[in-house]
Amino acid sequence: MARASAGCAAACGRFCWVFRVARPTGPPSAEQRRQPACHIADCQSATQPIYQSALQPPGGSAGSTAGGLSARALLRPVTDAGHSCAGQPVRHLPPACDRAMKKRPLILVTPATQPRGVELGDPALSVSRAYLEAVAEADGVPVVTACQPEPCYVRAAVARCDGVLLTGGEDLQPELHAPDLPAALRATVKRVEPDRDAFELALVREVFRRRKPLLAICRGHQLVNVALGGTLWVDLPAQLPGALRHQRPDRLHGAVHEVELAPGSRLARLLRARRAGVNSTHHQAVARPAEVLAVTARSPDGVIEALELAPPHAGALPWFLAVQFHPERLVQSDPRFRALFRDFVRACAEQAGGDGASCSSRQAVSRGNSVTRSLAQP
């Protein structure tokens, strides 16, 4: 029989055949309580697939109850007493895994829209696994959302999550920040996503209203600035001809240029540095920052690479950071960027546990209201 992780094995007395993890028979001892909590993935990493285990219990064929629950028993509804309707005890996760699972906050992740998906060629959503894996490795649970700008959906989505991650993607509609854009610059704008723009603008407004942690990456960084009243460079090569070459999709996972970090900023504290090498995959950028935001990183050519809430508005959200680069693609080459996701997920976990207690003071609410009033209408 495959064994579970050391944390599970030390904390439990015998193994459950479905998950190959220990199932306690009573209250944990003092020694068991000192053992570190395991992650569910640790319990499963050295085992056969759960599906296979469920259908092939030890000592019996598929469908048999010898040595464990049968496939039919697994499908029986469970009563509140922890037994199936057939009266057979239900095998639960060990307490260590259950505690770890309950502590993981739900992070709402925004996807890109696609006119033709891979399944049937109809409209679809797309999100890089790098975002999801970065959140999951930081002990968060990423949940990809539909791009539905309807107010009722946005309110429900933000209410049920513990934090929001705005991802990268296509250009924003120029009408949102530069309605009088010359035709030559308008021609540089790539495919736009009107439904996504409307949804994410409404999402940002609701995040500030409910005081949820917010991490914005690349397009998300630009969108937050526009939502709060800032503007964008529509095309860096055309509008800033002396700028670095910022559109480098050939270097997704490595540093393209350095950024200088503002002393005392959240980003500088997390990376424990004054400079850091970052990737670069954009042709648009923040031009004029919104009044409620402060620039906390710039590339050597002066392009804004990170934004945080300005000190007078720092209490508007329990946690906020917007970056132009893609930290989710740098965690392997530069492990310092893991700290960014860990700190974000930590703030989301506090939100889940304290229901916004970290931003519940009257002063913080007042600051949040001032930021909310500055949000641009979609």
pTM over 0.85: no
Identify the residue with better confidence: 168 or 44.
Answer: 168
pLDDT band at residue 351 using 50, 70 and 90 as cut-offs: confident
- Residue 6: pLDDT over 80: no
Q: Which of 44-48, 66-70, 114-118, 314-318 ranks highest by mean pLDDT?
A: 314-318
What mean pLDDT is predicted for residues 139-155? 96
pLDDT of 119 reads: 84
- Residue 204: pLDDT over 70: yes
Q: Is there a contact between 304 and 285 (Cβ–Cβ < 8 Å)? A: yes
Look up residue 89 and give its DSSP letter.
Answer: B
What mean pLDDT is predicted for residues 261-275? 95
Residues of the chain within CATH 3.40.50.880 domain(s) are: 104-373
pLDDT of 352 reads: 82
What mean pLDDT is predicted for residues 246-275? 82
CB atoms within 10 A of CB 27: 8
CB atoms within 10 A of CB 181: 16
pLDDT digits (tens, 9 = 90+) for 333-342: 899 999 999 9
pLDDT of 148 reads: 94
Look up residue 346 and give its DSSP letter.
Answer: H
pLDDT of 9 reads: 39
- Residue 8: pLDDT over 70: no
- Residue 206: pLDDT over 60: yes
- Residue 343: pLDDT over 50: yes
CATH no. of 104-373:
3.40.50.880
Could you identify the residue written with the tokens 């049968």? 70
**Residues whose CB falls within 8 Å of the CB of residue 26, separated by 6 or more in sequence, listed in order:** none
pLDDT digits (tens, 9 = 90+) for 185-196: 888 898 899 999
pLDDT of 216 reads: 98
> Closest Cα to residue 336, out of 263, 279, 272?
272
Look up residue 334 and give its DSSP letter.
Answer: -
pLDDT band at residue 348 using 50, 70 and 90 as cut-offs: very high
pLDDT digits (tens, 9 = 90+) for 235-253: 888 887 877 665 667 675 6
The Cα–Cα gap between 266 and 263 comes to 9
- Provide the mean pLDDT of the chain: 76
Share above pLDDT 90 across residues of the chain, in percent, rounded to a whole number: 44
Of 271-275, 308-312, 354-358, the range with the lowest mean pLDDT is 354-358
Instruction: Give me the residues paired with residue 216 across strands.
Output: 166, 322
pLDDT digits (tens, 9 = 90+) for 108-129: 999 999 888 888 888 889 899 9
pLDDT of 252 reads: 59
The Cα–Cα gap between 264 and 292 comes to 17
pLDDT of 283 reads: 84
Q: Which residues are catalytic?
A: 218, 326, 328
